[in-house]
Amino acid sequence: MAGKKLTLLEHNHPLFLQASDTPGLVLIPIKLTGPENYALWSRAMKLALRGKCKLGFVDGNCVKSMYRGELAEQCEKCNAIILSWIGSTVVSELMPSIVFASNARKVWSDFKEIFYRCRLTRIYHLWTEIASLKLSIDSVTTYYSKMTDLCSELDVLTPKFSCDCEESRPSLIHLEQQRLLQFLMGLNENYNNVLSNVLLRRPVVSVNEAYAIVT
């Protein structure tokens, strides 16, 4: 890898840059503001950087010491461009920490250290929002979307089951049923008949299936 010429880089090589990979490119429509949206921002940025084959620049798998000569210079160029991509997705108050940073990995680690430590606080607020979410003047679709968005962020912040094996199945089923009950609890009295119908179904339906039944 270290001896490969710059002109021979394949499109999936971490140092390869497309014509569209310009400084200031906005990869995601989310701006990092602080701990309240760090989990969502970092998840979206990871997906975008993986799609660009540049995730290694922030997770430590692609560093300048791996390359020599023109490839080392290309690595510096990629690092500068990724720093600018990160800068395009944060609020102005966070820009100085990016402008004066030595590499994208350092910025990524600093943001995680600063904002991820507030993870438990964010989990608390997410649980509070989910528990208090009710179908009022919103449509069922809007209510369902709000709930799934909150649950998706919660899933990013909380530990995952390492496998879908038999030992994990009871816990996975319990989580799915929790989500189903939370969705049903937020419905108003107009849906009491539907609620009873969903609860009596066997096998137990998923929250997605319950939403389809309600709509």
pLDDT confidence bin for 2, thresholds 50/70/90: very low
For 177-205, letters b (16+ CB in 10 Å) and e give: eebbebbbebbeeebeeebeebeeeeeeb
Average pLDDT rounded to a whole number, residues 153-176? 76
In contact, 40 and 153? CB cutoff 8 Å? yes
pLDDT confidence bin for 191, thresholds 50/70/90: confident
Non-local (6+) Cβ contacts of 187 within 8 A are: 135, 140, 194, 195, 214
Q: What is the pLDDT of residue 3?
A: 47
What average pLDDT is seen over the chain?
A: 88
pLDDT at 160 over 70: no
pTM above 0.95, yes or no: no
Token pair for 13: 């090589």
Token pair for 152: 């998706």
Coil, strand or helix at 134:
coil
* Percent of the chain at pLDDT exceeding 90: 51
pLDDT at 86 over 90: yes
Span 8-57, pLDDT tens digits: 788 899 999 999 999 989 999 999 998 888 888 998 999 999 999 999 99
Residue with tokens 């309600």: 214
